[in-house]
Amino acid sequence: MNTNQLSPAPAGPPPHPASPAPQPVAQPGAAPLSPVLCARGLMKTYGSSSTTTRALDGVDLDIARADSLAVMGPSGCGKTTLLHILAGILTPTAGTVRHDGTDLATLGDRRRTRLRRNDFGFVFQDGQLLPELTALENVILPRMLGGTSRRAATAEAASWLDRLGLAGMHDRRPTQLSGGQAQRVAIARALTGRPSVVFADEPTGALDQATGQSVLQILVDSCRDSGAALVMVTHDAKVAAACRRTVAMRDGRIAQEFVRPAEQPAPAQPLAAQSAEVAR
């Protein structure tokens, strides 16, 4: 890959970063907005007829825009399989996933790839930033692959990085960032392009607890404020507590669901200020 092609365009007066426009905001605990993902009767079996593992055994789930859902459960209960099926990465053995009413099974590979690229954002445990690219380049790469101009992608990426407390770090490479900073770059990457759903698999699993908690709050708040649904897999109850809803899985099924009661809204605080508070 020619990384030079990804360098930010030399600026004349920088375009005023197209600050992510306000989206419908759901207050914590408030009634969720319209469902963006609907899963019905999801089954997933791995392996051949001699050795089969039933990873999912009849999962129904609705997820609304701007809502946050934690998927909890012991190792091997099917969390990652569920996340990958909801994101169209894996195909279920039976059952359906609808995104804004469209059954993912009716989409060909190209349309499904486009859906993942344009409508979904992903945050993984170790960030998965490309080491040879700067923070900014990591954020703009998926947008440029999706056909956005470098100028537009750069403005949008810079705006998100600044919002997440990373002003002045756009040109750092992942090795020059702390774990928490790298995860915030991964969050910026997931949120550029205005995804309707952000999927996160153990997004704070590689961070110490205080850093993890601060990154987590930024992830939850950013998704809610930009109107994206957040689906987060975690085995940590403290991490799950940041989400409005939690489903507990066991043996490929949803065993329990919790909905956090409405809270008094916290006093408004800009995200950049939150990030600066814990500059880890």
Ligand X SMILES: Nc1ncnc2c1ncn2[C@@H]1O[C@H](COP(=O)(O)OP(=O)(O)O)[C@@H](O)[C@H]1O
Judged by CB under 6 A, which stretch of 73-81, 132-140, 144-152, 215-223 contacts ligand X? 73-81
277 counts as binding ligand X under rule CB under 6 A: no
Position among 78, 92, 121, 165 found at the interface with ligand X (CB under 6 A):
78
Binding track, positions 80-119, relative to ligand X; x by CB under 6 A: xx--------------------------------------
Residue with tokens 């998926």: 142
The closest alpha carbon to 196, from 161, 226, 218, 175, belongs to 226
Residue with tokens 């998965």: 128
Q: What minimum distance in Å lies between the beta carbon of 189 and ligand X?
A: 22
47 counts as binding ligand X under rule CB under 6 A: yes
User: Which runs of E-coded beta strand occur in the chain?
Assistant: 35-46, 53-64, 68-72, 94-99, 102-103, 120-123, 197-201, 229-233, 245-250, 253-259
- Sign of the alpha-carbon torsion through 110, 111, 112, 115: positive
Q: Which amino acid would we find at residue 141?
A: L
CB-CB contact of 254 with 40 (8 Å): no
76 counts as binding ligand X under rule CB under 6 A: yes
3-class DSSP assignment, residue 61? strand
125 counts as binding ligand X under rule CB under 6 A: no
Binding track, positions 117-156, relative to Mg ion; x by CB under 5 A: ----------------------------------------
Q: Which is nearer to Mg ion, 8 or 73 (CB)?
A: 73
6, interface contact from Mg ion, ligand X, none, CB < 5-8 Å by kind: none
Q: Which residues contact ligand X by CB under 6 A?
A: 46-47, 53, 55, 73, 75-81
